[in-house]
A and B are shown apart, each in its own frame.
Chain A
Amino acid sequence: MAWNLDSDRPIFIQILERIRIDVISGKYQPGEKLPSVRELAAEAAVNPNTMQRAFAELERTGLVYAKRTSGRFITEDQEMIETVKSEIAKEKIRLFLDSMKELGYEKEQTLTLMRQSMEGEKA
């Protein structure tokens, strides 16, 4: 099944996000081998050049490393994975806070609303 990608944002960025989340969520285990560019591009139904660029960026940031002929592997560096996880979380929170601000809520109000809905969930 082709990945669900937005049509108005560059695909390259969306692929990076998706793979990062897959690593954090454990879909790709540390040290696991990534599918080849072509395979993953076919699965996602995206241009292989774009997939290649995403892989190159992942390598650059260290989330993925390449073993010369055997392909690309997820890093085993747990610390790095945690860093990426918290970076993504922080980004999501930033976006959330922005949208709350758009609705007209101040930071304190937002916190209150959050506590309420979390307690509601517990019950």
Chain B
Amino acid sequence: MSALLECRKLTKRYKTKEVLNQVNLTLESGRMIGLLGPNGSGKTTLIKMINGLLTPTEGELLFCGGKIGEQSKRHISYLPDQTYLNMNQKVRDVIAFFEDFYEDFEKERAYDMLKKLQISADDRLKTLSKGTKEKVQLVLVMSRRAKLYVLDEPIAGVDPAVRDYILKTIISNYEPEASVLIATHLIADIENVLDEVVLIQNGRVMQHLSVDEIRSQKGKSVDAYFREVFKC
């Protein structure tokens, strides 16, 4: 059985800069994986490549044994770290759009989440506050029964109550056949939820460990360990 996601010598080079350097990484199903690294470490570049928004300069990126393309996009649900929807639409319209294009989208779940968040489906996106827009985007992403959820900084820039809700949603959504890849620099808030962490710096994967290893063998929290590894 092939791994959910596999990177082999993955490299991304811009004219003068190497943003990802010979990355080798394997991710399995049924895990919550944290992609942790300082700003500019290559987290977002890796994520964009997983979603087919950037192409590698060298190396391979395989999803369930196949290349990134139409098939992989069917099963990967992506939450970018910015708003990416057409602001002129109503919430209802966006949900209809997702239902139309993604087979694994569950409309009832989306409406259920919106109700709990007290967001009206008839509001136009551009009238919503920044935090509410982010909640809507999260609802859309989590209402899909995908094999891989890729969340880029899902809890940065939102208040603690929303943070809790987002984490609860991610946990409740968990399936043994799916994995969640969360890129963040807010480690302390999220480490209780993670199975494993991938530490990345300057385009290289420094470590890929389980959270238990860090806590029991090294006797410290992932946050403390991170600070140790990435000391300035």
- A residues bordering B, Cβ < 8 Å? 2, 5, 7-12, 38-39, 41-42, 44-50
Question: Does the CB pair B171–A10 fall under 8 Å?
Answer: no
Find chain B residues with CB under 8 A from A12 CB.
212
Q: Which of B198-219 contact A (CB under 8 A)?
A: 211-212, 215-216, 219
In the assembled complex, B75 has its CB within 8 A of some CB on chain A: no
In the assembled complex, B188 has its CB within 8 A of some CB on chain A: yes
Question: Does the CB pair B192–A38 fall under 8 Å?
Answer: no
Question: Does the CB pair A38–B172 fall under 8 Å?
Answer: yes
In the assembled complex, B112 has its CB within 8 A of some CB on chain A: no
Question: Known contacts A46-B192, A49-B31; is A9 also within 8 Å of B171 by CB?
Answer: no
Find chain A residues with CB under 8 A from B30 CB.
49
Judged by DSSP, the binding face of B is: helix
Task: Report the Cα distance A48→B192, complex, angstroms.
Answer: 10
Partner of A45, one of B164, B212, B224: B164
Q: A7-B222, A8-B221, A11-B215 are in contact. List 14 more A-B contacts (CB 8 A).
A: A2-B167, A7-B188, A8-B224, A10-B212, A10-B216, A38-B172, A41-B174, A42-B172, A44-B192, A46-B193, A47-B195, A48-B174, A49-B31, A49-B195
Task: Report the Cα distance A102→B84, complex, angstroms.
Answer: 58
Question: Does the CB pair A48–B171 fall under 8 Å?
Answer: yes
Question: Does the CB pair A45–B193 fall under 8 Å?
Answer: yes
Task: Report the Cα distance A9→B211, complex, angstroms.
Answer: 10
Shortest C-beta distance, A54 to chain B (Å), equals 12
Partner of A8, one of B32, B174, B219: B219
Find chain A residues with CB under 8 A from B220 CB.
8
Task: Report the Cα distance A41→B30, complex, angstroms.
Answer: 15
Greatest chain B CB density within 10 A among A7, A45, A47, A49 is at A47
In the assembled complex, B194 has its CB within 8 A of some CB on chain A: yes
Question: Known contacts A42-B168, A42-B172; is A47 also within 8 Å of B192 by CB?
Answer: yes
Question: Does the CB pair B224–A7 fall under 8 Å?
Answer: yes
Shortest C-beta distance, A89 to chain B (Å), equals 25
Shortest C-beta distance, B212 to chain A (Å), equals 5
What are 15 residue pairs bridging A and B, where the CB atoms are less than 8 Å apart in the complex? A2-B164, A2-B192, A7-B188, A7-B221, A7-B224, A8-B224, A10-B215, A10-B216, A11-B192, A42-B172, A45-B171, A46-B171, A47-B171, A47-B195, A47-B211
Task: Report the Cα distance A10→B221, complex, angstroms.
Answer: 9
- Chain B: CB-nearest residue to A48: B174
Question: Known contacts A45-B164, A49-B31; is A7 also within 8 Å of B174 by CB?
Answer: no
Question: Known contacts A8-B224, A10-B216; is A45 also within 8 Å of B192 by CB?
Answer: yes
In the assembled complex, B223 has its CB within 8 A of some CB on chain A: yes
Task: Report the Cα distance A106→B48, complex, angstroms.
Answer: 62
Q: Which of B142-201 contact A (CB under 8 A)?
A: 164, 167-168, 171-172, 174, 188, 191-195
Shortest C-beta distance, A79 to chain B (Å), equals 32
Question: Does the CB pair A42–B171 fall under 8 Å?
Answer: yes
Find chain A residues with CB under 8 A from B192 CB.
2, 5, 7, 11, 44-47
